[in-house]
């Protein structure tokens, strides 16, 4: 731990948390009198990086009055050259402490998911990529409201002073394991992985029967070998939404945090819950002149944000391409609306593009990514603990995330948008065929064997046993392709099997295969 800095107007109380790049201290503010959390970077940066830190902190502070982002009160540089942020103090316990002890209830996870999706969408529309969404970065206010924090300040100062940026491997998308990602769908992946963790009680690729070192986790992430979620109270539609958002292929994920939030609302409606409202502050260039289709489920507030020149020159976030007609999900030409056109049900570009620095009338040309971060996301840096707070990394000038539209809409990957019935998990286009199950044996000893139509390495199978010859048991998840059972004379044992692979949708269950003991 580094020593707490002396900051005029604040009195040190105690240490809240520490990490590889920053420490968080609790201070007593003198005027107004209140307790605050102050996050202090471990390393001091040069003049240029400190200036950029200040500029980006100013931008995000303007958005930190979002109801699901930790408020920023002040930013500055201490007398010893360390940058710091003064934030609202959120007392524990937080979700990171709770989910490891007991997985969270489905209703709470859905509420958290929609609220944090609103915060992420707000950041994306201001040109900010979070890059480190995980349970540890969702705090809880005094009133129990989930708040997103830690937008990765270390990557700002770290480019020239603090060294390479860290990586939280358990919740990182595959593309971020080898290179720095500028795509908003990388944040979508990490948010889905975080929600999956809250439901399963551990990181999504962690297994109790296998090594969980960084190398093993990376292998599973790259192959999409998601640990099965074995909770009967979690609806299949929610599992489908999260698995789709965690697809290995970026183009199969929801195109924005807004779309993921709408899909989570659809699950709330399916469960007969009142949908949590999506509240987005839109700082995109066109926000002040275009109309936003607010409704009972979505509220979009245009806001004006001053973008300093130092921030404007940074690379902007990569977002899936779209035409003006696909900006809103309820537009006549938007995907899923009655007026959509084209073979895939949408109008838009087939590939990604970078948002321009200004509105269409501003005349600014699109910006392209620079190489300065290409080597930052490499192994050798331990999974980082909070190194920033709501909004310290602004990846570029103002941009806006999409409400809908994707080149993969024809496959159903974009999901429902306006409260339609959730898709049947057994009818999705990317689900493999059901395995074929056979039985062999005689007397009391029988062996069931199964194989998918196109076997792949590391296929995982869900095996259901039924009949009066076995005790009722939960499904078994295994990579084995056979199971031997002992069947009492005259008793019946039946088996049904499903297969899943690469984090995709599971297959339908196989036809039931039964044997009778003799």
| One domain, residues 400 and 472 | no
Structural domain ending residue among the three candidates 411, 445, 473: 411
Does 396 lie in the same domain as 485? no
pLDDT band at 505 (very low <50, low <70, confident <90, very high): low
Instruction: Confirm if 60 and 392 have CB atoms less than 8 A apart.
Output: yes
394 and 462, same structural domain? no
- Name the domain boundary from 396, 411, 426: 411
Same domain? For 337 and 486 the reply is no
Would you call 47 helix, strand, or coil by DSSP? helix
- The enclosing domain of 208 has a CATH number of 1.10.510.10
State which of 411, 444, 464 marks the end of a domain. Answer: 411
Task: Tell me which of 26, 131, 367, 496 is the catalytic residue.
Answer: 131
Q: What angle do CA 274, 237, 332 make, to 5 degrees?
A: 70
Q: Are residues 347 and 456 in the same domain?
A: no
pLDDT of 145 strictly over 50: yes
pLDDT of the residue at 457:
79
Residues 360 and 455 in one domain: no
Looking at the structure, do residues 359 and 453 belong to the same domain, yes or no? no
List, for residues 178-210, the tens digit of each pLDDT value. Answer: 877 788 999 999 999 999 999 999 999 999 888
Determine what percent of the chain is predicted with pLDDT higher than 70. 66
On the question of pLDDT at 263 being above 90, the answer is yes
Q: What token pair was written down for 183?
A: 């795509």
Q: With 50 as the cut, is the pLDDT of residue 350 above it?
A: no
Q: What is the pLDDT of residue 1?
A: 60
* 139 alpha carbon, distance to own chain's centre: 16
Residues 479, 466: Cα–Cα separation, whole Å? 20
Question: Nearest 5 degrees, angle CA 117-CA 244-CA 292?
Answer: 40
| Predicted pLDDT at 61 | 79
Distances (CA, A) of 331 to 293, 326, 335, 340, 346: 9, 7, 8, 9, 11
Give, in degrees to the nearest 5, the angle at Cα 428 between 427 and 434.
60
Is 52 in the same domain as 178? yes
Q: What is the pLDDT of residues 5-14, one digit of tens each?
A: 999 999 999 9
Q: Residues 104-138: pLDDT tens digits? A: 999 999 999 999 999 999 988 887 888 889 999 99
* Rounded average pLDDT over 281-302: 76
* pLDDT at residue 289 is higher than 70: no
Q: Is residue 84 domain-resident?
A: yes
Q: In what order do the strands lie in the sheet with 460-466?
A: 476-478, 460-466, 492-500, 513-516
Main-chain dihedrals φ then ψ at residue 268, nearest 5 degrees: -60, -40
The 3-state DSSP class for residue 517 equals strand
Instruction: Measure the CA–CA gap between 387 and 429, rounded to whole angstroms.
Output: 40
Q: What pLDDT digit, counting tens, does each position of 36-76 carry? A: 999 887 776 666 656 656 665 776 677 788 999 999 898 88
Is the preceding omega at residue 32 within 30 degrees of 0, hence cis? yes
- The pLDDT assigned to 348 comes to 29
Provide the β-strand partners of residue 285. Answer: none
21: three-class secondary structure by DSSP: coil
pLDDT reported for residue 317: 66
Residue 344 has pLDDT above 50, yes or no: no
Return the pLDDT at 378.
34
Looking at the structure of the chain, the number of domains it has is 2
Confidence band (pLDDT; 50, 70, 90) for 430? low
Query: Does 39 show up as a binding residue in the annotation?
Result: yes
User: CA–CA distance from 447 to each of 67, 150, 244, 462, 471 (Å)?
Assistant: 57, 53, 34, 16, 17
**Mean predicted lDDT score pLDDT of the chain:** 74
Residue 5 lies in a domain: no
Q: What is the mean pLDDT of residues 421-430?
A: 38
Residue percentage of the chain with pLDDT more than 90: 37
- Give residue 511's domain range: 436-516
What is the per-residue pLDDT for 500? 79
Does residue 165 lie within any of the structural domains? yes
**Apex CA 344: angle with CA 343 and CA 345, to 5°?**
95
CA distance 328 to 326: 6
CB 464 within 8 A of CB 497: yes
Per-residue pLDDT for 456 more than 80? yes
Tell me whether residue 131 is one of the annotated catalytic residues.
Answer: yes
Strand locations in 412-491 (E): 436-442, 445-451, 460-466, 476-478, 482-486
What's the whole-model pTM score?
0.62
Write the burial class of residue 30 (CB in 10 Å: 0-12 exposed, 13-18 middle, 19+ buried): exposed
Confidence of residue 240 (pLDDT cuts 50, 70, 90): very high
Same domain, 478 and 381: no
Q: Is residue 351 part of a domain?
A: yes
At 14, which helix (H) or strand (E)?
A: strand 10-18
CATH of the domain at 490: 2.60.40.10
In this structure, the answer to whether residues 406 and 442 fall within a common structural domain is no
Residue 33 lies in a domain: yes
- Neighbouring residues of 101: CB distance < 8 A, sequence distance ≥ 6: none
- Residue 425 within a domain: no
Question: Residues 129, 230: one domain?
Answer: yes
Say which range, 157-166, 291-300, 486-495, has the weakest mean pLDDT: 157-166
Domain identity same for 261 and 118: yes
């Amino acid at each position: 731990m580094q020593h707490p800095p002396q900051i005029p107007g604040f009195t040190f109380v105690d240490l809240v948390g520490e990490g590889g790049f920053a420490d968080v201290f609790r201070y007593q503010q003198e005027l107004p009198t209140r307790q605050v959390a102050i996050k202090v970077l471990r390393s001091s940066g040069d003049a240029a990086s400190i200036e950029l830190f200040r500029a980006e902190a100013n931008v995000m502070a303007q958005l930190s009055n979002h109801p699901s982002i930790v408020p920023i009160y002040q930013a500055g540089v201490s007398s010893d050259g360390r940058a710091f942020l003064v934030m609202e103090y959120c007392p524990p316990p937080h979700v990171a402490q709770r989910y490891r002890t007991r997985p969270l209830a489905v209703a709470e996870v859905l509420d958290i998911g929609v609220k944090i999706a609103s915060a992420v969408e707000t950041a994306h529309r201001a040109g900010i990529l979070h890059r480190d969404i995980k349970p540890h970065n969702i705090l809880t206010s005094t009133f129990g409201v989930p708040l997103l924090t830690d937008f990765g300040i270390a990557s700002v100062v770290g480019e020239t002073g603090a060294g390479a940026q860290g990586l939280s491997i358990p919740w990182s998308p595959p593309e971020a394991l080898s290179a720095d990602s500028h795509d908003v769908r990388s944040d979508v992946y990490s948010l889905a992985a975080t929600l999956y963790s809250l439901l399963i009680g551990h990181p999504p690729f962690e297994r109790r029967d296998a090594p969980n070192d960084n190398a093993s986790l990376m292998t599973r992430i790259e192959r999409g070998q998601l640990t099965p979620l074995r909770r009967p109270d979690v609806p299949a539609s929610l599992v489908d939404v999260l698995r789709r958002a965690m697809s290995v292929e970026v183009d199969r994920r929801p195109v924005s945090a807004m779309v993921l939030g709408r899909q989570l609302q659809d699950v709330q409606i399916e469960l007969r819950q009142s949908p949590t409202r999506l509240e987005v502050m839109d700082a995109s260039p066109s926000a002040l002149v275009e109309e936003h289709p607010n409704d009972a489920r979505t509220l979009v507030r245009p806001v004006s944000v001053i973008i300093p020149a130092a921030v404007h020159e940074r690379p902007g976030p990569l977002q899936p391409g779209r035409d003006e007609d696909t900006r809103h999900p309820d537009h006549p030409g938007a995907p899923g609306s009655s007026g959509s056109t084209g073979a895939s049900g949408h109008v838009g570009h087939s590939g990604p593009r970078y948002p321009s620095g200004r509105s269409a009338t501003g005349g600014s040309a699109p910006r392209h990514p620079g190489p300065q971060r290409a080597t930052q996301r490499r192994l050798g840096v331990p999974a980082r603990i909070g190194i920033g707070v709501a909004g310290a990394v602004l990846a570029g000038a103002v941009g806006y995330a999409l409400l809908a539209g994707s080149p993969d809409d024809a496959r159903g990957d974009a999901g429902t948008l306006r409260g339609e019935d959730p898709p049947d998990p057994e009818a999705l286009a990317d689900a493999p065929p059901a395995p074929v199950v056979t039985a062999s044996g005689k007397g009391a000893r029988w062996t069931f064997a199964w194989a998918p139509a196109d076997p792949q390495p590391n296929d995982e199978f869900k095996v259901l046993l039924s009949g009066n010859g076995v005790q009722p048991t939960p499904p078994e998840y295994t990579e084995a392709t056979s199971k031997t059972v002992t069947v009492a004379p005259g008793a019946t044992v039946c088996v049904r099997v499903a297969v899943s692979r690469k984090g995709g949708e599971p297959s339908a269950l196989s036809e039931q295969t039964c044997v009778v003991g003799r």
